[in-house]
A and B are shown apart, each in its own frame.
Chain A
C-alpha cells in the first residue's frame, strides 16, 4: 500500500494538514504514527482507511478488508455489547470470534449496554469490531489508551498476529506500547510531512529471567513475551 505525495486540507483556503506526504506500507508491516497533538495523525489514519480523500496525490494498494478503531468509540448507541458485535459481525459478514472477546478481557461486558461502559471497556468494543473478518489493513487510533495492562499486552500480540499473516497495521500510539511488537517502524507526522524515524535504542543492560509455570500456559506466555519484544528461548 502506497501513499504518494498526498496533500490534504479540510477546507479550501485553510492550511494543509498533509503537504506532499508519502508513506510506503508493505504487507506484514506495523507502522507506529507519532507526532505532537494536532499535527494530523488521525487525519492520516482516516486517509489511509479511505474515510477521507486526498486533495492531491493518491493512495493505492489498499487491501479490500479494512478494520478501523477510532480514538473514541461511539458508545452513545442503544445496544448491548453482544448485540452491537453481532450486528457489526453481520455487516462485515464475519462474526466477531468469541476467542477475541475473551482475549481482550471483555466477556463480562457482553450483556452491558454500550452507554454504560467505561472509556476503556468501550475502547475494547471498538477494537473487537475492527478485528472481525481478518482485516488486511488495520487502522487503530490510539489503541492502547484506557486499556488495562492485560488487554494492552494481548493487543500487542494480536497486532503481531495480524502482521504475521500479511496484514498491514497502522496505529497512532502515545503510550508507546506498540514498540513491543517486533519489526514495528515509527513514522512522525510534523509540518505536513511524514518522516520515518529510528526507534530509540534502549541502553538498559539485558538480563535472563527464569519463569516456572504450568506447561499448558507456556506457549501463550512465550507468544506474549515475544510480542512485547523480549527474547524467548
Chain B
C-alpha cells in the first residue's frame, strides 16, 4: 500500500496541482500573521488558523483524490484490491494535508508570533490543526469525483459544506465539526475545559464523513 501512497503523492506533486492549496495556505498565513501576534495571542491565532485552513485542507484532499484518471484508479484497484486502493488514497490525502498543517503551525514561530508560545499552547495549536486535517480530508473526500462527478457541483458543495459547518457549529458543538466552538474557546481562555467535547465531536464527524466516502466508493468503485 505504501508504494501506491507514494505514487499518488508523486503524481499530485508532479502535476503541479499542489500549488493551488499552497497558494491558499500562504494567503491565509499572510493575512493572519502580517501584522504580528502579540504575546498571549498565540493560541487564539492557532485556533483561527486551524478553523480557516480546514477549507484549504479540504481543497487539497479533493485535488489529490481527483488527480489520477478514473481508468488509473481501476488499474490500481485490480493491482492492490478495492479496500487498499481506497485506504491508500486517503492516506496520501492525510499526508498532504498534514504537511500543510505542519507548515501552518511552524510558520508563525518564525514570522508572526512576538514570543514563542508555551509548550501547552503549541500542543493545543497542533492538535486543533490535526482536527482540521481530519475534517478537511473527510470533506475533500466527500466532494471528490467518485462521489460528485460534476466539477462545478463538487466545488460548490465543498465551499457550501464548509460554510454549513461554520454556521451549524455556532449552534452547538455537536451540530457539526465544532470549528467556531474551538475558536471561541481559544479566544476566551476556555479551550482546556471544552477540549474533550471539541475533540470528540470533531473526531465523530470526521469518522462519519470518511465512512460515508468509503460507503459511496463501495457502491460506485
Contact = CB atoms under 8 A, between A and B. Distances in A.
Interface of A: 46, 49-52, 66-68, 70, 72-74, 76-79, 87-88, 90-93, 126, 129-130, 139
A79 B78 contact: no
Contact of A91 (B70, B76, B221): B76
A192 to B, nearest CB: 21
Contact of B78 (A51, A73, A77, A78): A51
B71 A72 contact: yes
B221 A52 contact: yes
A74 B69 contact: yes
Contacts, number: 63
B4 interface: yes
Given A50-B78, A87-B3, A88-B79, 19 more contacts: A49-B74, A51-B221, A52-B221, A68-B74, A68-B75, A70-B71, A74-B68, A76-B69, A77-B69, A88-B7, A88-B75, A90-B6, A90-B7, A91-B3, A91-B76, A92-B80, A126-B75, A129-B75, A130-B75
Contacts of A46: 74
B157 interface: no
B3 A67 contact: no
A67 B78 contact: yes
B11 A91 contact: no
Q: How large, as a class, is the contact surface on chain B?
A: 20 to 34
Interface of B: 3-4, 6-7, 10-11, 14-16, 68-72, 74-80, 82, 221
15 contacts: A49-B78, A50-B78, A50-B82, A51-B221, A66-B78, A70-B75, A74-B72, A78-B14, A79-B11, A88-B75, A90-B7, A91-B4, A91-B7, A91-B76, A93-B3
Contacts of A91: 3-4, 7, 76, 79-80
B77 A50 contact: yes
A76 B69 CA distance: 7
A126 B75 CA distance: 9
A77 B78 CA distance: 18
Contacts of A126: 75
Contacts of B11: 77-79
Given A49-B78, A70-B74, A79 B221 contact: no
B40 to A, nearest CB: 46
B1 to A, nearest CB: 9
Cβ-closest 6 pairs across A and B: A74-B69, A90-B3, A78-B14, A68-B78, A74-B71, A87-B7
